[in-house]
Structure 1
């Protein structure tokens, strides 16, 4: 286990004060000194009462200091700040502690994850803090408690099973001396979702709650699973069922409940997973559990019988609202399916739901039943369907914020279609395989270039209407926070950190970070000074979904990954970063592409190359863009590198198992991609193709 220590630069870091982050402090929204949880405190509003930086003073906001993360590939997380120390998890769940005033590294803990055993190369998204310990979910399935002062691990538990499809990217949640963690992995098949609660002091398991039922022949763990099984048909347990809780979990101290946002089915295709229909509880649901026992209390299913990857694993924000003259204990929820929901936290009843963006799969939500009013054909009954939103959702994992001052919710949204086609797939002849992990046919063709866009939206949850909207670049931008200074902060994919007027959306301040980000900012104070911090860098899922980075010119190997910290009158200089760079594919007219070989090469590329060189050969990470490389033009040069390891010292692995015919097929696929005209639709199909190819690669890795 790697720990690197530094000198304590501020007395604020020296020890015991950090034990004060507990049930009382996380339940108190009035103290903005710390940002001690993924959503700042239990309500997950991501609203800070700090107002030193406000709409009048924000033009004085400047860089206080920055910290370069030269050897880290992903920075998608939101840091924590506790008693003058910033804690952040980056890359494969490496944890850093940095003095919040000086920017000096205090310690670094590396859980030493083996990248070759990773299910997915998503970045870790957050940490938890409780009574002097930092809690991190590690991508290989471990949950680790780290002493916040020394950086030394105090206990570690494996929350998954060795060699299974589960992985952790989400932040743990802490409450009642309990730490809760979920996992992802339903897109890989053979995964039955669950959440697990552990004792914060010892790591001993307290309870586990599965999100979908298992094989009835094995008996049910509880009455909730028996009830849920009535909504499934066929032999769903053979596919795992899915329902992973990979992101959103919110603790409610008023009811002593934990709310779980659950994910998609496995496979995605409902008719294959549950051939005689059924709602398939508790997929794509908000589920309330007793926080002490894990016993089921209530649920609300946003997408019954889901068939589109419409996760409900997005934020669940707690707020007290006045609706029709009556005070309501409300939950605000914007899952992937495109609707904004206001639920009653006491019993899960629907208060209201309206379309947040472009939604064509359903006309609306029936206010009596709470069920979507589906549009005929949306379930691709005729073999295919093009619907909005696609599997990326109108709102994804990038956090939203709620301001009790303005009464508005601030949401990073996107508009992008999804193509679904299950041609030739019937329950009687289909089985989950590495070639068809989701029960759907991929799509590689082209459509008009206006396929995707994004925005920052201010939404009124009481009137269920848009207050304002600001267009943002590309299709994927960072999460947001709101402050009592009447500001909304967001980091963007084009490399800009923006501050908007919370009431009007007007841009009040901007800073060029030198690289794009999808991470959410946070704010805190030390002494009498307020700070704003954000991680910036293009890696992780952005690296793999190459076109998302390519459209902004970010190349992971060339552009920085960094922590930036701002304060009023900050005057530090940001280290120079290369300007955006867009590789120019080589035409290579002398190379005659064989279509059959290119098709064969596509499958080989998906198994061996996509993880580094990007889906559809559109690089967005550390590895070069092969479309712009002269190496594939030469058989001898290509063989020397790919088969014989000529560039091992530069991090390029070799694959001696590839035959000469397979190497030749790879070259033809790369040259075919170099001549392909990339459009915005590639951003849509890239998501789908990436998932399929990654699943195939994982199956091959473990011999499945």
Structure 2
């Protein structure tokens, strides 16, 4: 059963098929009497044939159903270069000189006419008038009343969600709407939508719409809630077709419905944004996440960034019995980096960019999937990944590579709104997981390597309206603007691509900021370059800065400070202090007072040579012999002592577990040449001298003083695979060598391992359903879950 939610516009097909100006909406022009006539006007079979040609030739720019993408929408009925059939024919055949609309002179003439016929059918033009004899107004009344269509179908937020969403049905040819939807729905949707009445072994009954089913379980939508039943506990299942058996439509009514549906080319976000889905996860529950250890409600598992599970069902004594329970493919061109969220037995997880899934967290049955292709693709785009979603009330939020923040209905996966956050052709992408804070969705930006100005945004979760923006490189006249010479702040980088932390009591948002640009050439940007390589403490209501601390001033090594900001309370000198703990990419472990931003102490957790100490204000005393130069210099660490992979903090023992890499680096700068949307790293090309082999490891750090408690070596370094500690005395470890393992949290001794068969670029989580604890990890493009037998 298909639960796709949107026919998204396709990305670029090739450089020559970029957005055309030929069909920009404008005043229509009359068709001259002496021009050739469309030989297929009014021919319904030509509409379907033209749709096939359009899909293979034109959707890359103009979108599915001609609803618009990189190029303009073609379903409006008016076109800048003439709205007559022959005008369109000439535009397609000849292209538009001076624009990016190419010529399709090699396309057979009849195929061009068929495309024209299809385009005109979408907008109610001359061709469409012959194809759509029905009355749309009568069709609308029938759809929402006597036809009872909304008992199963949705139209822009109105109606039920059991069967297909018909909000974009108009992207189909009228013949397809009539035959595929009204007369033979099974041809389009696969198995016909159906309900099930389930009798359990104990005599009780459950009923609902069948969302998913396999040989061992059946998932129902029962009054808006997902219910999954184990077939071992089921006595009988009686199904009934969702299609009304007693519905009799006259031919005129069929035509009226087709005319109405044909008007709807895409979901209308002005209407769907008004929908208020039933709550799934409230802000109050996220604040009190520790009281619900069976759930995993945020990217870090809680607001404090602990990424720690309080569950102990899986423990040192039984972890050796851990078994794989279910796996799900999340196919795409990039490995999984996301951390799933789990709320009341439903897992929400992003796959490769553009995909979001909901699974039954116990069985792995897919409840819904949302897929969206990029409207716009930057050909110089890097890091095509997505690290997760946020859930608030009844919505799921995520970002896209072409910079859209999207809200989905958590119950159906259908899109409620989307808002363009930035321009991907400038180098921006949205790869991080949003964070739901109070009545706002906080969304960071990626692209600090591309020569742009980083920012952090807040959005209204109901409408997508932007509420505030904090720029990570201050403009002239703003505090700390003097740390950037001239106009370098405009290209200064400072991405905010990893999810931050939040202290509800202090009402303070803590967010890490990435490297300055150009990454490896600091000569043109002399100064501290605030707020790059820093943590910023913000008021979540206004986005105003409370304080900041910079870990690496004037960085020339690409040492982003995006890593987890762990919020912990510790007793220092007999007084409880509110701390911020942070293992930075520069190889140093920091402790700050999170109320004031005051530096408390710092200590390397891998070999470092770039710093010799810190002054009383916490400013590093930098060894400038490790700064990048055109000739190159050796520096420790290399690309990072750690990176964005999740650490794990056990507050009871004040221990931080983290994956690290001790490796010699090479600080080599090259020319800084800026080109819009391209990499702006200025990395040199001098070959580095040989050095010792890297030493990747899992380390336990005493968070009271930075001492290393134990070290467990691993085989392959990673800048993305993380760890998860649990109250069961375990540390689950993801590795680039494809091994998923469990260590004793006291000693680091390996107790269990599972070879996934794919490189792991994500971090593990733990959750529970019906009293059973699970551990989950993404590896390659598979999502795995594990539990004890029974």
TM-score w.r.t. the length of structure 2 is 0.64
| Aligned residue number for residue 578 of structure 2 | 329
User: 2:269 aligned with 1:21, yes or no?
Assistant: no
For 1:497 and 1:120, the matched residues in 2 are separated by 27
Deviation readout 1:250-291 (Å, 9 max, x if unpaired): 1111111111211111112454332xx321211111111101
User: 2:557 aligned with 1:314, yes or no?
Assistant: no
User: 2:516 aligned with 1:265, yes or no?
Assistant: yes
Deviation readout 1:369-395 (Å, 9 max, x if unpaired): 2011211411246842110112x2101
What are structure 1's unaligned runs of at least 5 residues?
221-225, 538-560, 571-704
| Aligned residue number for residue 460 of structure 1 | 702
User: 2:651 aligned with 1:377, yes or no?
Assistant: no
SS at match of 1:230: helix
For 1:441 and 1:297, the matched residues in 2 are separated by 37
For 2:763 and 2:489, the matched residues in 1 are separated by 37
User: 2:539 aligned with 1:279, yes or no?
Assistant: no
CA contact (8 A) 1:419 1:443 kept: no
CA contact (8 A) 2:402 2:423 kept: no
CA contact (8 A) 2:632 2:688 kept: no
Cα deviation for residue 353 of structure 1 reads 0.6
For 2:511 and 2:679, the matched residues in 1 are separated by 29
SS at match of 1:441: coil
Q: 2:317 aligns with which of 56, 76, 88?
A: 56
User: 2:668 aligned with 1:421, yes or no?
Assistant: yes
| Aligned residue number for residue 580 of structure 1 | none
Indicate how the Cα distance of structure 1 residues 357 and 106 shifts in structure 2: closer, same or farther if over 3 A, else same.
Answer: same
| Aligned residue number for residue 90 of structure 1 | 351
For 1:209 and 1:156, the matched residues in 2 are separated by 20
CA contact (8 A) 1:342 1:351 kept: yes
| Aligned residue number for residue 788 of structure 2 | 568
Q: Which has the higher contact order (CA 8 A, sep 6+)?
A: 1
Deviation readout 1:316-360 (Å, 9 max, x if unpaired): 011111223321111111121111011111001111110010111
Indicate how the Cα distance of structure 1 residues 13 and 297 shifts in structure 2: closer, same or farther if over 3 A, else same.
Answer: farther
Cα deviation for residue 13 of structure 1 reads 8.3
User: 2:297 aligned with 1:36, yes or no?
Assistant: yes
Indicate how the Cα distance of structure 1 residues 145 and 260 shifts in structure 2: closer, same or farther if over 3 A, else same.
Answer: same
CA contact (8 A) 1:14 1:149 kept: no
For 1:421 and 1:478, the matched residues in 2 are separated by 27
| Aligned residue number for residue 255 of structure 2 | none
Deviation readout 1:515-561 (Å, 9 max, x if unpaired): 22021111111111111111111xxxxxxxxxxxxxxxxxxxxxxx2
User: 2:431 aligned with 1:177, yes or no?
Assistant: no
| Aligned residue number for residue 242 of structure 1 | 493
SS at match of 2:626: coil
For 1:505 and 1:247, the matched residues in 2 are separated by 27
For 1:77 and 1:273, the matched residues in 2 are separated by 36
Cα deviation for residue 566 of structure 1 reads 1.0
| Aligned residue number for residue 3 of structure 1 | 5
CA contact (8 A) 1:166 1:183 kept: yes
My pick for the range that moved more, 484-493 or 339-348, is 484-493
User: 2:398 aligned with 1:398, yes or no?
Assistant: no
SS at match of 1:265: coil
CA contact (8 A) 2:316 2:744 kept: yes
For 1:93 and 1:417, the matched residues in 2 are separated by 37
| Aligned residue number for residue 81 of structure 2 | none
For 2:507 and 2:222, the matched residues in 1 are separated by 32
User: 2:713 aligned with 1:471, yes or no?
Assistant: yes
Cα deviation for residue 187 of structure 1 reads 0.9
| Aligned residue number for residue 426 of structure 2 | 164
| Count of residue correspondences | 526
Q: 1:387 aligns with which of 632, 635, 643?
A: 635
Cα deviation for residue 162 of structure 1 reads 5.4
Q: CA RMSD in A?
A: 2.3
Deviation readout 1:67-99 (Å, 9 max, x if unpaired): 233555321211111111111111123101111
For 1:47 and 1:279, the matched residues in 2 are separated by 34
Indicate how the Cα distance of structure 1 residues 36 and 12 shifts in structure 2: closer, same or farther if over 3 A, else same.
Answer: farther
SS at match of 1:184: coil
Indicate how the Cα distance of structure 1 residues 207 and 192 shifts in structure 2: closer, same or farther if over 3 A, else same.
Answer: same
Indicate how the Cα distance of structure 1 residues 422 and 535 shifts in structure 2: closer, same or farther if over 3 A, else same.
Answer: closer
For 1:52 and 1:155, the matched residues in 2 are separated by 40
CA contact (8 A) 1:142 1:158 kept: yes
Indicate how the Cα distance of structure 1 residues 321 and 11 shifts in structure 2: closer, same or farther if over 3 A, else same.
Answer: farther
My pick for the range that moved more, 114-123 or 336-345, is 114-123
Cα deviation for residue 148 of structure 1 reads 1.0
TM-score w.r.t. the length of structure 1 is 0.71
CA contact (8 A) 2:741 2:754 kept: yes
* Correspondence list, 1:85-164, <5 A: 85-113=346-374, 116-117=377-378, 119-161=381-423, 163-164=425-426
Deviation readout 1:616-670 (Å, 9 max, x if unpaired): xxxxxxxxxxxxxxxxxxxxxxxxxxxxxxxxxxxxxxxxxxxxxxxxxxxxxxx
Deviation readout 1:417-460 (Å, 9 max, x if unpaired): 3212337x5xxxx6435998333312346624x44231111111
Cα deviation for residue 234 of structure 1 reads 3.1
| Aligned residue number for residue 702 of structure 1 | none
For 2:470 and 2:375, the matched residues in 1 are separated by 28
For 1:466 and 1:13, the matched residues in 2 are separated by 52
Q: 2:339 aligns with which of 67, 78, 94?
A: 78
| Aligned residue number for residue 350 of structure 1 | 599
| Aligned residue number for residue 205 of structure 1 | 466
For 1:137 and 1:278, the matched residues in 2 are separated by 33
SS at match of 1:377: helix
Indicate how the Cα distance of structure 1 residues 115 and 446 shifts in structure 2: closer, same or farther if over 3 A, else same.
Answer: farther
| Aligned residue number for residue 497 of structure 1 | 740
For 1:69 and 1:120, the matched residues in 2 are separated by 20
| Aligned residue number for residue 656 of structure 1 | none
Indicate how the Cα distance of structure 1 residues 71 and 285 shifts in structure 2: closer, same or farther if over 3 A, else same.
Answer: closer
Cα deviation for residue 112 of structure 1 reads 1.4
Indicate how the Cα distance of structure 1 residues 187 and 524 shifts in structure 2: closer, same or farther if over 3 A, else same.
Answer: same
Q: 1:255 aligns with which of 506, 517, 528?
A: 506
For 1:436 and 1:187, the matched residues in 2 are separated by 6
Indicate how the Cα distance of structure 1 residues 122 and 414 shifts in structure 2: closer, same or farther if over 3 A, else same.
Answer: farther
SS at match of 1:273: helix
For 1:285 and 1:270, the matched residues in 2 are separated by 18
Indicate how the Cα distance of structure 1 residues 46 and 383 shifts in structure 2: closer, same or farther if over 3 A, else same.
Answer: same
Cα deviation for residue 161 of structure 1 reads 2.5
SS at match of 1:19: coil
Deviation readout 1:283-306 (Å, 9 max, x if unpaired): 111111101011110011111122
Cα deviation for residue 406 of structure 1 reads 2.4
Indicate how the Cα distance of structure 1 residues 344 and 77 shifts in structure 2: closer, same or farther if over 3 A, else same.
Answer: same
| Aligned residue number for residue 365 of structure 1 | 614
For 1:512 and 1:351, the matched residues in 2 are separated by 41
For 1:284 and 1:495, the matched residues in 2 are separated by 30
| Aligned residue number for residue 656 of structure 2 | 409
What are structure 2's unaligned runs of at least 5 residues?
7-163, 165-210, 227-277
For 1:85 and 1:166, the matched residues in 2 are separated by 31
Task: Please list every run of at least 4 consecutive aligned residues from structure 1 whose deviation after the TM superposition is greater than 4 angstroms.
Answer: 10-14, 433-436
SS at match of 2:502: strand
Indicate how the Cα distance of structure 1 residues 439 and 112 shifts in structure 2: closer, same or farther if over 3 A, else same.
Answer: closer
Deviation readout 1:537-592 (Å, 9 max, x if unpaired): 1xxxxxxxxxxxxxxxxxxxxxxx2111111116xxxxxxxxxxxxxxxxxxxxxx
